[in-house]
Chains A and B, each alone.
Chain A
């Protein structure tokens, strides 16, 4: 999951920062605030993902960028031009809609040519550009098919071609994989990514699927309740989540809440018998300060406890195995501590194979983690 997929651009391939700027944008629907004073700056050619659960405001923000909604406050600036008041049909922005919204009464060719016809391009140019983009998405053999005759993956490629043919400055992707079967999703994510990389277009994608965001995006903004909780590369967001929400939304995690016991970074947590050693507590740390830390399930080492074994002085816990889930490359364990707290632990396959005896239900196990695996949350 941490490995950077090949399709991603080296950061030098990205253009200047501030290509797309969202400046203090808010959106209210009657009484509800859907997007709240949001700021965002996206680089040219960047693939940016807005990640969040439904109702977090990510789709509204995307529709504001497309011009399908007007913001209650704030400005949208694209390539140095303020486009806030520009109607949707004049914006150099195209969107690939959720479930694609292909025109059912037009064939593939007519669907793709639609945008160029609206620009009043000469027929020769339209034909040429449609053929070009059909070639790009490898749908040239389906030019005369109606959308209903295509598979989900083919429809997606037509939708992509339709949104690329006008060579927009900004491409918006609304849940691009949500209408596809899980089996072909991963393959499609890489295909789509490769096409977009070839074209070299600035992209903003909305998704609720963290894996999709991590595979495809250069940067991710985690959104909750109309605000951005954290912005960063997939690694940054995963390895050093800023808040409990970000930590729990991306992957699974164990969050400990407690207070700092001394200036060396010892933290006392009611769920654990021994303190947590944070290593560097940070310059602003104060004794008695309430803190939250997160440790990812794969950062916890597990071993079977010997009888009467003592818990090490820090960063460890004894517990009993409550659930075992075999996941192939790793095994997922739920371990219940004496305090009643349950921790999630991922044990890699090779570690499982190394055990003399595989852990079973109700076995007592010793869990340990390093100070470096503990990430302090805001």
Chain B
């Protein structure tokens, strides 16, 4: 055993660094804040700054527990939370589904296009990211409102007699959601479809598969990892989405992001908002773990 080998064991290798750096990053900027939120979710609300009590304190020289599960009980007993959760998941699910139905053919066409056209199309998908998300959602108000672009055009063409209600309802909500999250579906799908060996669909054709059979027996199963990745990238942020339902949706379509916002900023009940957040994370972890397992099983087959 020499000094150098002892010293070397203290210097992290490239493998340790590659895993360690993102690990430390996630620990500092994801795990610690989340633990903070988790802690607050068990605290009692108060009119102090910050607006919650410590989990334990000293009273008459004796330590006392001040933590409570009341926030969680409130959430479970108040129908508004349950319906907001269900609504969020439903909106996220249908947004993902619509994104998939629009995104898959789009990605397929982009992947099959000639290199120049493909780059232009990909740029078209990425370009909106150069503008602020908030600005893009606001600009939809200009398009969808009663005197907006869409209604003016339809009135001008004589297709309608009175302005259609395109926003502040479920339709507006979905237009905004699908518009904002579609690129997250298209890009991973494109990546998977582009790297697929073009000989595989050809081999299927050669063996007697009609174009539809080629799609359903070869192309679609082989792009499942891309579908999974895209669906996760759309579904997860959709569940917690706040801005789009607020600006384009109706008050009927109450989503959990809106409830947390009002708990946090309107009622200044941080513990309750924190508990709602923790439950949402748990709710999101379930489909994620399920997808991960699905993908790792698919990975063996691939």
CB of B203 within 8 Å of the partner chain: yes
A338 within 8 A of partner (CB) = no
Return chain B residues, CB-CB under 8 Å to A104: 200, 222, 301-302
| Minimum CB–CB distance for A88 against chain B, Å | 4
When A103-B218, A104-B301, A114-B217 are in contact, do A94 and B207 touch as well, CB less than 8 Å?
A: yes
Task: Quote the shortest CB–CB distance from B216 to chain A (angstroms).
Answer: 12
Asked if A162 contacts B207 (CB within 8 A), the reply is yes
A99 touches B207 (CB 8 A): no
Q: Which of B197-226 contact A (CB under 8 A)?
A: 197, 199-200, 202-210, 213, 217-218, 221-222
Does A150 count as interface, using CB distance less than 8 angstroms? no
CA distance A90 to B213 in the complex (A): 13
- Determine the chain A residues whose CB is within 8 A of the CB of B200 once the complex forms: 101, 103-104
Contacts A68-B202, A97-B199, A97-B202; is A115 near B208 (CB within 8 Å)? yes
> Is A166 an interface position by the 8 A CB rule?
yes
Q: Assess whether A95 is interfacial by the CB under 8 Å rule.
A: yes
In whole angstroms, how far apart are the Cα atoms of A105 and B222 in the complex? 7
Which secondary structure characterizes the binding site on chain B? helix
The answer to whether A98 has its CB under 8 Å from any CB of chain B is yes
Contact yes or no, B222 A97, CB < 8 A: no
Chain A neighbourhood of B202, CB < 8 A: 68, 88, 97, 101
- CA–CA, A1 and B197, complex, Å: 37
How near does chain B come to A211, taking the closest CB pair, in angstroms? 25
How many A residues have CB within 8 A of the partner chain?
Answer: 27
Contact yes or no, A89 B203, CB < 8 A: no
The answer on a CB contact under 8 Å between A115 and B199 is: no
Instruction: State the CA gap A162–B221 with chains docked (Å).
Output: 20
A119 at the interface (CB under 8 A from B): yes
Contact indicator A166/B208 (Cβ below 8 Å) = yes
The verdict on A255 contacting chain B, using a C-beta distance below 8 Å, is no
Chain A residue nearest to B199 (CB atoms) is A101
Please determine whether B217 and A68 come into contact, CB atoms closer than 8 angstroms: no
CA A68 to CA B198, docked complex, whole Å: 12
In the complex, the answer to whether A105 meets B221 with C-beta atoms within 8 Å is: yes
- Whether A66 sits at the interface, judged by CB under 8 Å, is yes
Interface residue from B199, B206, B302 paired with A105 (Cβ < 8 Å): B302
**Given the contacts A101-B200, A103-B200, A89 and B208 also touching, CB distance less than 8 Å:** yes
Chain B interface residues toward A at CB < 8 A: 197, 199-200, 202-210, 213, 217-218, 221-222, 298, 300-302
A-B contact pairs, 22 of them (CB 8 A): A68-B202, A89-B208, A89-B209, A89-B210, A95-B203, A97-B199, A97-B202, A97-B206, A99-B199, A101-B200, A103-B218, A104-B200, A104-B222, A104-B301, A105-B221, A105-B222, A105-B298, A115-B208, A118-B213, A146-B300, A146-B301, A162-B207
